[in-house]
Amino acid sequence: MERAQELVIIRRAYAKQILAAAQVDDSHLEEAFAQVPREDFLGPGPWVIPRWGSGYLPTPSADPVYLYIDNVVQIIAERNLNNGQPSGHAKWIASAAIKPGEHVVHVGTGMGYYTAIMSHLAGPSGKVTGIELDAGLAARAKENLSSYSNVRMVEGDGTTVPFDAADVIYVNAGVTRPADQWLDGLREGGRLILPLTTNEGFMANDLAKVQARGAVFRITRRGSEFLAHWISPVAIIPCEGARDEMSEAALAEAFKKRGAWLLITRLYRRDDIAQDRCWLRAPGWCLAYE
């Protein structure tokens, strides 16, 4: 069998394993993971991957088969910056329920692997706007995504770069509060996938610690209201420009109410919601139980 054909089979098996690990049943998403070559987005191998008990180690060779596992791959060692874990992204992308024809805004594209996955889901009638702050990564993502005709890459700060009204805003760096531009930029029915993280650090490898430090929420626009729903714990590097002290303090306090995040149903952009209705209350916004 030719190598290219072998990789098609390997990617198909990987896609199935990733969706199973994410506990997601979504044939379109499985197809996207099966179609997009991860090696096209991570530069030439060998690649550096964390190994249980040994830290980050280079893969034995530049064979792309080593990339088809449910693990992060190092992008920039000094910044602890990785290509994220596939099953985590599968869960968050599935929760965004991207439909053909929709406009997806991806904040923090890195080198563009998950941008490409979402480009598949949006399809030729949809579009993806990728925004990356790091100039070097933005340039590499632009090059890596050049054959994806529905993707436009922008170098800049995803909290301020203007974009067309979005059906989905997929944020890939930890914030303490949603940027106004994201909430304002959602179309009716639009979904914001939002990782809220404290300053406690993002390197914890035990689940109890991760759970108390960060969580991904889906925020859905319904008219002038915003529904909010907890999706999963998260450990992820900070988002520049979307972290403020007051919200961070409120978030750190809120995460002490273990498990209560499951009861959140609303995001309000107001100061007058009673404290006992809120999981988190910070100036100008809150996450509430009703």
Ligand X SMILES: C[S@@+](CC[C@H](N)C(=O)[O-])C[C@H]1O[C@@H](n2cnc3c(N)ncnc32)[C@H](O)[C@@H]1O
**Of 141 and 251, CB closest to ligand X:** 141
CB of 114 to ligand X, least distance (A): 5
Which part of the chain contacts ligand X (CB under 6 A), choosing from 94-102, 116-124, 126-134, 213-221? 126-134
> Does the footprint of ligand X cover residue 178 (CB under 6 A)?
no
Give the footprint of ligand X on residues 200-239 (CB under 6 A): 236-237, 239
Site map (CB under 6 A) of ligand X, residues 241-280, x = contact: x---------------------------------------
Phi, psi angle pair for 88, to nearest 5°:
-60, -50
**Minimum distance from residue 78 beta carbon to ligand X (Å):** 12
Binding characters for ligand X, 97-116, by CB under 6 A (x = yes) = ----------xxxxx-xx--
Pick the closer one to ligand X by CB: 49 or 264: 49
Cβ pair 126, 100 in contact under 8 A: yes
Minimum distance of ligand X from residue 137's CB (angstroms): 5
Of 81 and 219, nearer to ligand X (C-beta) is 81
Q: Which of 86, 158, 190, 214 binds ligand X (CB under 6 A)?
A: 158
Using the rule CB under 6 A, which residue among 173, 192, 194, 215 binds ligand X? 173
Contact with ligand X (CB under 6 A): which of 132, 235, 268, 281? 132
Interface with ligand X by CB under 6 A: which range of 13-21, 81-89, 223-231, 279-287? 81-89
Among 81, 219, 231, 286, binds ligand X (CB under 6 A): 81
The Cα 203–Cα 16 span in angstroms is 28
Residue 264 β-bridge partners:
none
Binding residues (CB under 6 A) for ligand X: these are 81, 83-84, 107-111, 113-114, 131-134, 137, 157-159, 172-173, 236-237, 239-241
